Amino acid sequence: MQGTDIIVLRQIVMLTLLGLTGFFAGKTKYLPENSGVILSRIVVKLTAPILIVTTMIGYNFTKQTILNGLWIFLFGIIFILISGAISVAACKALKIQGAASNIYKMLSMFGNVMFMAYPLLSSIYKEEGIIYAIFFNIANDAVLWTLGIYLVNKHKNNTWRENIKHLINGNTVAFTAGIIFIATNLSQHISSNAAVNSIYTVLFDTFSPLGKTTIYLSMLFIGLILSEIKIQSFSDMLKRYPLFILSFVKMLIVPVLACVIMSFAAPFLNPMVKAIVVLQLAMPSATIVSALASQYGSDYKFATEGVFVTTVLSVLTLPVMVYVLGIFG
């Protein structure tokens, strides 16, 4: 095993331990019920936006950075839709119908591109990993709050305007603020004024560590959410073989397909573009799918089981995808 693979494996083990900490804290009732919901709000509404802003304004952006980000956004959209197309065929082959069919498609398309991806990509690629993960996250949100809502919204008559408004959230606002900071070259103006620079330094040194708590809080959240999922019978869940097929396709087949396509169809791409897209595609199903299933009266049980199975199996599949990335370079 190469040195890089050992480092990645160590990071995955560390993140898994953080997740297990949250899981046992929830299962033993050491933390009160619904702690996962509260923690998710802290991450989504507070620490993640702060992480995005502080990372962006502290990062040395170049034209190549922006170009790489745009490629990640584009390939993110393309392969999320490809995942959806594959899931349509899978539903027909597995004879999955009704609400379960729509949930299956959502579980296949939308990965845990923030709570799971930010910690992993940050641990492997540091600040650069977070910067590029944001671009994929925006692509994911764009499809989730349009096509995703269309799939799950079978029991309510919400308008497209009501659904599209979710695209304006803490993450996109933080990203926009970061882009404005970079585009207007505010850092140069700040550094040229000693008093302003002193205030900026105090603010940055205060909020940057707060934003970085996202990495740890996200994994605690994953563990807490898994501890709150009510699985009636594990043997019964094993009979839900479509979920294992979904896991295999979503976290191995589609990422490998993306890796091959980008390696041969776009050899000019920066290796980081390929790495971010492939690893984001390899993430387990997003916890928000089960939340949306509950909100819209869809198949909540199937959604939560899907999130549980893919998250547990990702501990095995993510190291495999890191190894595959190493083969393709």
| Arithmetic mean of pLDDT, 90-110 | 93
Q: Mean pLDDT, to the nearest integer, of 226-241? A: 72
Q: How far apart are CA 157 and CA 171, in angstroms?
A: 27
- Exposure pattern of 4-30 as b/e (b: 16+ CB <10 Å)? eeeebeebbeebbebbbbbbebbeeee
Average confidence (pLDDT) over 224-252: 82
Looking at residues 253-258, what average pLDDT do you find?
96
Alpha carbon distance 222, 311 (integer Å): 9
| Helix (H) / strand (E) containing 147 | none
User: Which CATH number do you get for residue 77?
Assistant: 1.20.1530
Which residues constitute the domain of residue 192? 3-328
Amino acid at 228: E
What is the per-residue DSSP string for 252-274? IIHHHHHHHHHHHH-TTS-HHHH
- Alpha carbon distance 154, 306 (integer Å): 20
- Give the C-alpha separation, 270 to 1, whole Å: 24
User: Distance between CA atoms of 277 and 29, rounded to whole angstroms?
Assistant: 37
Q: Exposure of 155 by Cβ count < 10 A (0-12 exposed, 13-18 middle, 19+ buried)?
A: exposed
pLDDT band at 186 (very low <50, low <70, confident <90, very high): confident
Per-residue pLDDT band at 155 (split at 50, 70, 90) = very low
CA–CA separation, 107 and 286 (whole Å): 7
Please list the helix, strand and coil fractions of the chain in percent, rounded to the nearest 5, in that order. 80, 0, 15
Q: Do 110 and 151 form a contact (C-beta atoms < 8 A)?
A: no
What pLDDT does 205 receive? 94
Q: In the chain, how many domains are there?
A: 1
Angstrom distance (rounded) from CA 279 to CA 282: 5
Confidence class of residue 158 from pLDDT cuts 50, 70 and 90? Answer: low
Q: Report the C-alpha dihedral over residues 2, 130, 303, 108, rounded to 10 degrees.
A: -70
Looking at the predicted structure, is the pLDDT value of residue 300 above 70? yes
Q: What is the pLDDT of residues 161-184, one digit of tens each?
A: 666 676 678 888 898 898 898 888
In order, the DSSP letters of 95-113 are: T--HHHHHHHHHHHH-B-T
98-109 vs 300-328: helix crossing angle, rounded to 10: 30
**Residue 89: pLDDT band by 50, 70, 90 thresholds?**
very high
Q: What percent of the chain has pLDDT over 90?
A: 40
What average pLDDT score do residues 149-162 get? Answer: 65
Rg of the chain over Cα atoms, rounded to whole angstroms, equals 20
Question: Is pLDDT at 271 greater than 80 in this prediction?
Answer: yes
Residue 323 burial (C-beta neighbours within 10 Å; 0-12, 13-18, 19+): middle
Tell me the per-residue pLDDT of 36-67, one tens digit each, with 9 for 90 and over: 888 888 988 899 899 999 988 888 888 899 99
Q: Is the pLDDT of residue 204 over 80?
A: yes
Q: Determine contact, residues 226/25, Cβ cutoff 8 Å.
A: no
Evaluate if residue 157 carries a pLDDT over 60: no
The DSSP call for residue 285 is: B
Mean pLDDT: which of 7-11, 112-116, 133-137, 215-219 is highest? 133-137
